[in-house]
Structure 1
């Protein structure tokens, strides 16, 4: 009888690195990512006004292309049970047109939690001079897996400032955004991030999903854009950190609601807290936080 479920995982690969790849930030690349989430901010498109600024979540295009560790044997049994659980993107500066960005990832920790086994992968971005431009921490969970042996950690996630707004407080503002039936296909091709559960109904249904769902990184990127527009007047170059945990699914052809929960001036910038609800009122992104410079 064939074994079912993801099986047991170990922490033996903590410390292993992914392949490294370099990306030239051309207008085509910058505009394509903005188009993937239908963000028409002139900073992504108006190349007559100076060098274009890249959306912070272009980092996920780089991450998708550099996620492979060919020295580690593949685990096809566990792979279908893996989900993107949380993001912590930290930028030393905005990425701009003509940058040459090199990204490489490293598995930083593996441990057991109630839903399965959680991994923290850290992707570092450097420019042509070797200076760090940003760090993308991606947390993933292998649902239903068990951990064989001891957990291992080289680093943890940095702390996030606490939201000062009381629980249940009315949002400062909220914005409803339509997720069109073709949003998964557009994001797939423009962001160059392909997983058929986001484009093909038969694959999504076979995976036990209610229907085709939007990429988690797309949901977070749309939320980032909404906060940039609503709180920063479109000044995406001010974003220095984005934090968000992915929870409920967003089905294509539905709506999401981005809610700004708090917006506070702090030394050198602003702390903005938000969440995202799906069409059923469930939290699609929880614990949302953006640090912006001034």
Structure 2
């Protein structure tokens, strides 16, 4: 099977939605994040969403890909071989309950990869005043699908590669309960059967269900926010990583910060997340933190 880069620039139907308080609180609960910024609505300024709620909002498009991308003439059969490979998010401001957002999507890059093709879709969320709230570049690896040309577009996650992940500034061990995938599936409203159905996991060749990669990333962002940003999620400017290993429920993960890099008002925090085998489940991780 082949795909070429002629699809770069194709756009999807926009999605319009309103962010609710329940969504914000439930997403925090899905990863065990008790930050009062997300849960305490007695605060004078109210609550804000966990930054990673963004991926739950765009998932509504990804989950119904054929519906939103039907006018793009995209080769849907290639998507059957897709696994979540890369993630990059940038926020212009926090997401808040009551935000009315329009999410637009386009194919940002189609690039050759040694295991197939790296497909990157860019989603942009705009508020009622047409201001950008966040931008996501979500990358899927189309395993065994050959990129028929040199490719087009840019992999925005490449900037965090080749950092010294053996260096350890601090680390946190977190235990994932056997219910963790179900809690994330339900509370984050990000559903894919490989995370909750042992039968489906067996069907695709896995011995059992695996924990969601975006849930693992959200936990890392939460820990880095608490330790490096004074527990103030408004300071999170951008997050990126690659998904390079599986995490099983009822095991431990280790979030490890390896380097800080200060640039003007932004400090980049490079990290890796290890699974229970000591392998990198999340690689090339970086969280950008700015002033409040």
Task: State whether TM-score is above 0.5.
Answer: yes
Counterpart CA distance in 2 for 1:238 and 1:83 is 30
Counterpart CA distance in 2 for 1:225 and 1:22 is 27
The corresponding residue for 1:70 is 70
1:48 equivalent in alignment to 2:45: no
Cα pair 2:90 2:134 within 8 Å, conserved: yes
The corresponding residue for 2:169 is 172
Choose from 252, 256, 260 the match for 1:259. Answer: 256
1:94 equivalent in alignment to 2:94: yes
Cα pair 1:11 1:111 within 8 Å, conserved: yes
Aligned pairs for 1:101-112 within 5 A: 101-112=101-112
The corresponding residue for 2:286 is 289
Residues 67-113 of structure 1 deviation map (CA, whole Å, 9 limit, x = unaligned): 32122457564333211111111111111222222212111121221
Aligned length: 285
The corresponding residue for 2:114 is 114
The alpha-carbon distance between structure 1 residues 71 and 175, as it changes in their structure 2 partners (threshold 3 A), is same
SS at match of 1:66: helix
SS at match of 1:30: helix
SS at match of 1:12: helix
Counterpart CA distance in 1 for 2:257 and 2:241 is 13
**Higher helix proportion:** 2
1:140 equivalent in alignment to 2:140: yes
Taking structure 2 as the reference length, the TM-score comes to 0.91
Cα pair 2:157 2:242 within 8 Å, conserved: no
The corresponding residue for 2:5 is 11
Unmatched runs of 5 consecutive residues or more in structure 1: 1-6
RMSD: 2.0
The corresponding residue for 1:216 is 213
Counterpart CA distance in 2 for 1:216 and 1:244 is 10
Question: Could you tell me how far 1:198 is from its partner in structure 2?
Answer: 0.5
Counterpart CA distance in 2 for 1:15 and 1:90 is 20
Question: Could you tell me how far 1:23 is from its partner in structure 2?
Answer: 2.4
Taking structure 1 as the reference length, the TM-score comes to 0.90
Cα pair 2:157 2:241 within 8 Å, conserved: no
Cα pair 2:4 2:151 within 8 Å, conserved: no
Cα pair 1:15 1:154 within 8 Å, conserved: no
Unmatched runs of 5 consecutive residues or more in structure 2: none
The alpha-carbon distance between structure 1 residues 220 and 110, as it changes in their structure 2 partners (threshold 3 A), is same
The corresponding residue for 2:243 is 246
